[in-house]
Amino acid sequence: MSLILSGTDGLSAVDGTAATPAIRGTDANTGIFFGTDIIGFSEGGVEAARIDASGNFGVGVTPSYRLDVARSGSGVSARFSQGSFFSYIFSSSAASYFTADTGGLTSYGVTASTLQMSAGNGADQLVVSQTSVKPNVLLDISGASAGRIQFPATQVASADANTLDDYEEGTWTPTAGGVTVNSGTPVYSGTYTKIGRIVYITMAQSGGDITLTGGGISNFSGLPFTVASNATSNALWSDGSGKTGTVYAYEGGTLIYILQAISNFSNLTALRISATYSV
């Protein structure tokens, strides 16, 4: 192996390797080595860093970014790209990474809790959760779940008066009591929306011809949530032809009672109920 040292060529013709670098001190396996458009740095005979043909600088990794840093065997890395401030950080042990570039911002963190934010190149959503402590919250700005805020299926109640801790919507199946069927087969269906402690319900009759017993005896059971023991609720029922009255939720139970005149209301074919109560 020849070594050229001159004012024209400088120090050349000796590339070396990571194990035996071309430029070194008294430590024979620590120094600088060269390749085709590559400058490498070795420690203890192992490559520690390099500058590649694109000017990318890698520490512990063959660089793919302007600055690419990795900790061997740990799964931890940080990457900086030309034209952006911060590109990528990843930790396999904590299952977390953070990305910020000209296209947007993405952040993930997963240990016992989760924080996920993405925009631009990501899925445009924010997810915050803490296992067994706080409810999962999903805010999706765009995509398949756009415009949604998600609460857990089972409410995690909060003692904080300023914290909304539950939202749910669905259907319920009313069961008639104190109602006489004159003809046909009436079918009852209902919907509900629960926001915190407040429940808004609707109920509709389709088919059949029914009579409501006077004096508030007629009722429909099966409310989706038990009415608070100290709750009162008054709302409207109607049949679409001018017959109307009020209803109230049975305290401590799952019944809606219908209030109307003492005399029976007969030949109802389209009973409608809406009510709001607390739980």
Output the pLDDT for position 30: 94
**Band of residue 201 on the pLDDT scale cut at 50, 70, 90:** very high
Q: How far apart are CA 117 and CA 136, in angstroms?
A: 14
pLDDT tops 70 at residue 96: no
**pLDDT > 90 in the chain, percent:** 28
Higher local confidence (pLDDT), 83 or 27: 27
pLDDT digits (tens, 9 = 90+) for 239-253: 777 778 888 888 888
Q: Which two tokens stand for residue 187?
A: 């079918």
Output the pLDDT for position 124: 44
Q: How far apart are CA 265 and CA 238, in angstroms?
A: 11
The residue type of 241 is S
Output the pLDDT for position 170: 96
Q: How far apart are CA 190 and CA 148, in angstroms?
A: 23
Domain boundaries, the chain: 4-91, 170-278
pLDDT tops 50 at residue 133: no
Output the pLDDT for position 42: 94
Torsion angle in degrees (nearest 10) through CA of 204, 208, 213, 214: 70
pLDDT tops 70 at residue 139: no
- Decide: residue 44, CB within 10 A, 0-12 exposed, 13-18 middle, 19+ buried: exposed
Output the pLDDT for position 135: 45
**pLDDT > 70 in the chain, percent:** 65
Q: What is the mean pLDDT of residues 191-209?
A: 93
Output the pLDDT for position 136: 53
Output the pLDDT for position 24: 86
For the domain covering 170-278, report its CATH number.
Answer: 2.60.40
